[in-house]
Every structure is written in structure tokens, then in C-alpha cells.
Amino acid sequence: MGKEEVKGCSFCGRPKEDTLLLISGAHDSFICDKCISQAHDLLQDELYSSNKKESAFPQQVSLSKPKEIKAILDEYIIGQDKAKKVISVAVYNHYKRINKTEQLDDIELEKSNIVMVGPTGTGKTLIARTISKILQVPFTIVDATVFTESGYVGEDVESILSRLLQSCNYDVSLAEKGIVYIDEIDKIARKQDNPSITRDVSGEGVQQAMLKLLEGAEVLVPPEGGRKHPDQKMVKINTQNILFICGGAFSGIESNILRRLNTNSVGFKSKGMQLFDKDSALNYVNSTDLKSFGLIPELIGRLPVVSHLNELDKTALKAILTEPKNALIKQYNKLFELEDIELTFDDEVYDYIVEKAYENKLGARGLRGICEAIMTDAMYELPSEKEIYKLHVDLDYAKKYLDKLDLQHLKVA
């Protein structure tokens, strides 16, 4: 058929002169650019709807009592009793508020967003992840350091909700009851305790951008992330019932706490200054200390629950190594059991691993790196050996592999 015989689109009937592009098909059929665009939108909507149906989370949150939540946390997390109690109550009140909406009458209950302060490797992320498993709600972990103000290189804060959507297969109603853990919240603190003269696009600017998410607002969210897919259809999410848990090491905040506590001791009470030392300072952390560290007052006001996690001592580190349901030693036992090899350890080895982790201030997270250094050679060699059915790790074996390891590279800032 010649070009002069093309009349128009076979789908919508538009004449050729009213289209930008006509694509020919079989049997002298044609489709125009506008029909292609509409077909693409319909296909995206269908794919989006089919993804929603595949969600594995229940629509109604099954809520346990605070004591029951803490009891389950105790199975996975050693110590930190005060933090677990505070977080259990905050989580219970938050989801009770969602489930009992019809019984609230005219009283509006506000959200119980949480901020956790504690050194690295003390269990902040593990507590948040375990809470989401207990309640069976969508959960995502984001790192605050990757965010910048809108319009600058980096990620927009709305991508927090994009990741939450992805975790529940794009079911908006489920995402609106989810939990978001924002890690490294201390890294976006402003450097001085006064408003910035110059624009701080990855610090104070990010804190300002987070305010509407934390308090509760209807936010237009790009499902695939905004920067890489600018033409996608936006999804509206109400953050009123999303629980935000923020965590950070807040390195150096102890000096702010001690300064506040010790300046209160004057006159005849001046001897009381000796009661407060750096080791116990975190027990007294409050919103004033977070403000002096560099979080803006508006953000602190949206994080009403402040909890702290203490640095782990040797007893706690040894318990973490052997006692929880998913303890490291139990994990290695299971790995070797799958190879039909029985793995055993001397108690001295546990003490040696704990001593090394404590000396280098690695926390619970560093225990894994030390165990890997000890066990890597065995995990490499033994699966290929047919006649070995038992491996016993004694102190000499552990020292052989650990003494040549530079533990400083295991430190997490």
C-alpha cells in the first residue's frame, strides 16, 4: 500500500494529519502515538493491581500486649531491658490507636514515633526488625545519610515511602500501617546549635523535609523512586499511621548530657557532680540533649519517645554469642549440620572472642566478623572432605586464625 493510501489510526480513527506518528501492522492496520500512550498506561495500571493482590501481610494488625512483645524481644535481643520496655509500650499504643479508631470519640491520639540513642552494635536495628516480625507489618530500613533536599544530588525523602511500598508489593493500605526504621539519624544533625546561614542540603535541609512524613500527611510518592523514573504515575500515601523509628549512635552526646546534669549541681549540692559519669550518661538522655547535638526542635517534637541502649559488656556479648534463637554459634552449628558435620566449641573460645570484640569496641555486630575469621578456612575445606564428621574448635585453633587478623577494619563508624 502506498503512503498516499494511509487514512489514519485503525484504533481511534484519527486522520494521519492529526497524529505525530503512525506505526503500521499486519493487514494494513495502523496505530497512532496517542493510542500507544493510552495502552501503556492501561498496562501499567494492570500490572500495579496484580502486584497488590500478591501481598503476604494481613490487613488487620494482630496486636500483642506490651509484656508479650517484650517477651518475644527477649528471645532475640540480650539485655537492653529499659529500651525494650519503652519501645514495646510505644508500639502497642501506636497500633492500638489504629485498631480502635472507632472507639476514640472526639479524642485524637497522636503518633508515638521513637528515637533510639546508643553506640553501634547494641541492637537498634535488630529491635526494629524484630518488632515488624512480631506484628507482621511491612517494614523497611533506610539510611538517613543518602537523602538530600529536593533538587539536589541524592535521594528525596519521599523515597523512604517508595521502599515501604515495595516491601508490601505496592499495597497502599498495608504500607499506611507499616514501620520505617531510619538509621544514622545523627549523621544529618546540623553542625552548630543555631540555624544555618548557608544551605545545608544533606543535614538540616533533610530534617526539614522529613517533618511532614513524621507528623502525618498525604504525600505523593513515586513507586519506583523519583530520580530514575521521572514520568511514572504518583501514588498518594497517608503517613498518619506509619510508625517511624529513628536510630543513631550520637557519638559524643554524653558530653552534652553531662554538661546539662552537672551544671544543675551548685552550692551545697556541688558534690553531686561526681555522681554523673560518662558510662551512665545515656541513662539520662532527653530531647534537650538531642537539640544540643544538632537535631532541630521541629523534628524532636515529632519523635516524642526517646530511648537509649547501653554499650554491651562482656557478659552481654557472651550471651549474644550463644543464647538467642538466632545466636551466632547456633547459626554455625546449623551450617555445619547441613554438611553432616558436628561442630563444638570450648568455653574458652567464647571468652576469647568476646574479649577481642570488647577490646576493639566492635559491639555485637563485630562478633560475626571475628567468628568468620576463625571459621572461614574450615567452611572452605571441610565440605570437600568425605571422612570428617566432627570439628572441635579450641583456644589454640581460634588464636591461630585470629591473631593475624587486623580487627580495626571490623569497626563500624
Residue 60, in any domain of the structure? no
Domain boundary among 308, 329, 349: 308
Q: Which residue, 293, 308, 323, sits at the end of a domain?
A: 308
Half-sphere exposure (CA, 13 Å, Cβ side) for 11?
15
Tell me how far apart the alpha carbons of residues 100 and 104 are, in angstroms, rounded to a whole number. 7
**Final residue of a structural domain among 290, 308, 326:** 308
Looking at residue 412, what is its pLDDT? 45
Q: What is the pLDDT of residues 198-241, one digit of tens each?
A: 555 667 888 888 898 898 888 888 876 655 555 667 888 999 98
Give yes or no: residues 197 and 330 share one domain: no
Domain-embedded: residue 58: no
What pLDDT does residue 158 have?
A: 85
Across 210-294, the runs of DSSP E, i.e. the strands, are: 218-221, 235-238, 243-248
Cα gap 132→235, rounded to integer Å: 23
97 and 24 together in one domain: no
Which of 299, 313, 310 shows the shortest CA–CA distance to 186?
Answer: 299
Q: If 0-12 CB within 10 Å is exposed, 13-18 middle and 19+ buried, where does residue 117 land?
A: buried
Is residue 243 one of the residues assigned to a domain?
yes
Q: How many domains does the chain have?
A: 3
The number of residues in the chain equals: 413
Q: What are phi and psi of 248, to 5 degrees?
A: -170, 155
Phi then psi for residue 10, to 5 deg, are -75, -15
Query: Which three three-digit cell numbers place residue 246?
Result: 529513628
**CA atoms of 144 and 149, how far apart (whole Å):** 12
pLDDT at site 230: 59
pLDDT at 345: 93
Q: Are residues 396 and 319 in the same domain?
A: yes
Strands (E), 309-377: 342-345
Tell me the per-residue pLDDT of 42-101, one tens digit each, with 9 for 90 and over. 887 776 565 554 555 656 667 788 999 999 999 888 888 999 999 999 889 888 888 776
Q: List the pLDDT tens digit at each of the 413 positions of the chain.
A: 444 466 788 888 888 888 888 888 888 888 898 899 888 878 877 765 655 545 556 566 677 889 999 999 998 888 889 999 999 998 898 888 887 765 666 777 788 899 999 888 888 888 988 988 888 888 899 998 888 776 666 678 888 898 888 888 888 888 888 899 999 998 888 765 555 555 556 678 888 888 988 988 888 888 766 555 556 678 889 999 899 999 998 988 988 888 888 765 554 544 444 456 677 788 889 999 999 898 999 999 999 999 999 888 889 899 999 988 889 999 999 999 999 999 999 999 999 999 988 888 788 888 888 899 899 989 999 888 888 889 999 999 998 888 766 555 555 43
Same domain, 296 and 215: yes
Q: Helix, strand or coil for residue 83?
A: helix
15 and 82 inside one domain: no
Q: Which of 103, 172, 174, 167 is nearest to 141 (CA)?
A: 167
Cell 547501653 belongs to: 310
Q: How many CA atoms lie within 13 A of 392 on its CB side?
A: 4
| E strand or H helix that includes residue 393 | strand 390-393
The Cα-based distances of 260 to 9, 257, 279 in angstroms read 76, 5, 15
Cβ neighbours of residue 58 closer than 8 Å, sequence gap 6 or more: 136
Let me know whether 238 and 382 are in one domain.
no
409 class by beta-carbon count within 10 Å (0-12 exposed, 13-18 middle, 19+ buried): exposed
Residue 139 lies in a domain: yes
Identify whether residues 88 and 214 lie together within a single domain: yes
pLDDT for the residue 1:
41
Cβ neighbours of residue 9 closer than 8 Å, sequence gap 6 or more:
19, 22, 30, 31, 32, 34, 35
Q: Compute the distance between CA of residue 386 and CA of residue 388 in angstroms, rounded to an integer.
A: 6
Residue-range definition of the domain harbouring residue 21:
3-52
Same domain membership, residue 325 and residue 221: no
* ∠ Cα 332 395 401 (to 5°): 70
pLDDT for 408 equals 52
Co-location of 202 and 301 in the same domain: yes
Q: CA-to-CA distance for 175 and 165, rounded, in angstroms?
A: 6
Q: What is the CATH number of the domain that holds 104?
A: 3.40.50.300
- Residue 264 is predicted with a pLDDT of 56
Q: Give the pTM.
A: 0.75
**If you search the block for the grid coordinates 571490623, which residue do you land on?**
410
